[in-house]
Chain A
Amino acid sequence: MNIDNIKKEFPIFDEKIQNNDLVYLDSANSSQKPKIVIDKINEFYTKQFSNVGRSVHYLAVAATNMYENTRSSVQKYINAKDKNEIVFTKGATEALNLVANTLGQKYLEEGDEIILTELEHHSNYVPWHYLRKSKNIKINFAEINDDGEVPIENIEKLITSKTKVIAINHLSNVTGAILPIKEITEIAHSKGIIVVVDGCQGAPHLKLDMQDLDCDFYAISCHKMYGPTGLGILYGKKKWLEELPPYQGGGGMIKEVKKDRITYGDLPNKYEAGTMATAQVIAFDQSIKFLENIGIENIINHEKELIAYGQDILRKNNSVKLIGNPKNKGGVLAFTIEGVHPHDIATILDEDGVAIRAGHHCCQILHDKLEIPASARASIGVYNTKDDFDQLNESINKCKKIFDLK
């Protein structure tokens, strides 16, 4: 599959958005969907639909096989050791809540400490915050440096004998910094600390190898990975998923239910209570195929080249200030324009069909640290081209003109 023509795999780019060609620079928020994924959802509901894992009729068996097939594809794609280490959730948010909640139930004790970073998305902070209240857990934030990175030393110096968990993102959705998960995990494990990774931005853009990274948990958001909404994946090392208690109770996750006792099912059913996002799981197999057909190395090279181009073009634009300058950077460019609020930027860009995000991007801790209430953010996916950044720049100039900036 040729990455230069990849846009034509995505039907949305054939649409006119308010009479404009779509310049979609909001993939860190959610990616667009390739035709094969959309078609699979349609095909499943049209010709193959049944619930999975319960009935014995033909459609149920076929649907169950497709559902489990996605689990195997994910296992292979992220190089997990065991198929049962892949748990489907309603999103990465639920995956992170599952980890925080179950660790809180069984593993963490009053006075224990957790290390997060100032880059964390609210979904990798709020679930841990609950444990502050319920278990008196202390949360420490590893600080960023001026380039918007978290140096390993800043994490290391927070480690005490009480530290039980380090929960960090793989790739920042604001500064684009890629965190050295493998190195951090090595340090953490040498001190018996669990590593939980928020992989929402990492999974669509980086090579994933769970056995190499060696982290204990890794949360994935499928809709950011050219897949359907309503679906996330929790990778967890088997020993943890076996040891920790279930998260939600309901059908499908039990072994035996009596009036006086209940025993729970084996992995991964233990964590998949109720009817799951069946069509989404089955269609997500096509997202994995799509990524495999292009090849993650090609994706990484394409996005690196593109973001360098975007960075260059915005740097040359007076009054645009880029947020963060990490050495190892993913496809996110957050910026401010002095004298124009990010929401005004986003509205004006939208008029030209340029879709970006404005706000704090669910990273209020980071924006407080940077002493700005909000920022504008252009983020890329496989389908973006240099033309998209040229149009972004042109629309930014229009914005400056409206606000009478040089």
Chain B
Amino acid sequence: MNLKELYQEIILEHGKNPRNLRKTENFNKDAQGKNPLCGDNVHIYLKLNDQKKVEDISFEGSGCAISMASASIMTDLIKGKSDNEAKEIIEDFLGMIKENPELKTNLLKEDDKTKLMCLSGVKQYPMRVKCATLSWHTLVSAMENDGKEISTES
């Protein structure tokens, strides 16, 4: 195990200064996610326009450096994507955290992929995987807009 792989510069920086940590005005989709084991919580707000494009995405909540950085990077990369593109990226990210060595999607630029790959360090820390994936599962719930609260302990 290597702490340097887990706490890379990009993660520490996003953790300290999370992007899109606010509430989208006129959001039309949202969902809340909680990790009851550590008390982490995240609320994702989404504004999809008529063309089903993510016009704005933001989040509120608190958590560890990993979960804040993950939500921060996620919101940055999803903004401007269509709902189908967003779904492909989410699936690709969760697949990478779960088992795939690399990201497969062509929807992201190489340096964006590099940012996401920084989160792959959690693979070595099974207890911390949930920190990296909570905001992504919550985004899925928001897009499906079934109002279901996401819990890491379902």
Contact = CB atoms under 8 A, between A and B. Distances in A.
Interface string B11-53: 0100010000000000000000000011111000000000000
Interface in A305-360: 339-344, 347-348, 351, 358-360
Contacts of A402: 3, 7, 12
Contacts of A348: 3, 7
A60 B136 CA distance: 56
Interface stretch (B60-68, B77-85, B87-95, B144-152): B60-68
A373 B41 contact: yes
A148 to B, nearest CB: 18
Interface in A265-285: none
Contacts of B63: 341, 343, 373
Contacts, number: 53
Given A359-B39, A373-B40, A347 B12 contact: no
A347 B39 contact: no
Nearest to B37: A359
B41 A339 contact: no
Contacts of B37: 359
A301 interface: no
A340 B11 CA distance: 13
A374 B7 CA distance: 20
B62 to A, nearest CB: 5
A40 interface: no
Contacts of A7: none
Contact of B128 (A343, A374, A404): A343
A403 interface: yes
Given A402-B12, A404-B12, A344 B65 contact: yes
B3 A351 contact: yes
Given A339-B16, A347-B128, A404-B12, A360 B65 contact: no
A373 B39 contact: yes
A18 interface: yes
Contacts of B64: 341-344
Contacts of B68: 341
Interface of A: 18, 339-344, 347-348, 351, 358-360, 364, 367, 373-374, 402-404
Interface of B: 1, 3, 6-7, 12, 16, 37-41, 62-66, 68, 125, 128, 131
Given A18-B1, A367-B39, 15 more contacts: A339-B16, A340-B65, A341-B62, A341-B65, A343-B63, A343-B64, A347-B6, A347-B125, A347-B128, A351-B1, A358-B38, A360-B38, A373-B39, A373-B41, A374-B40
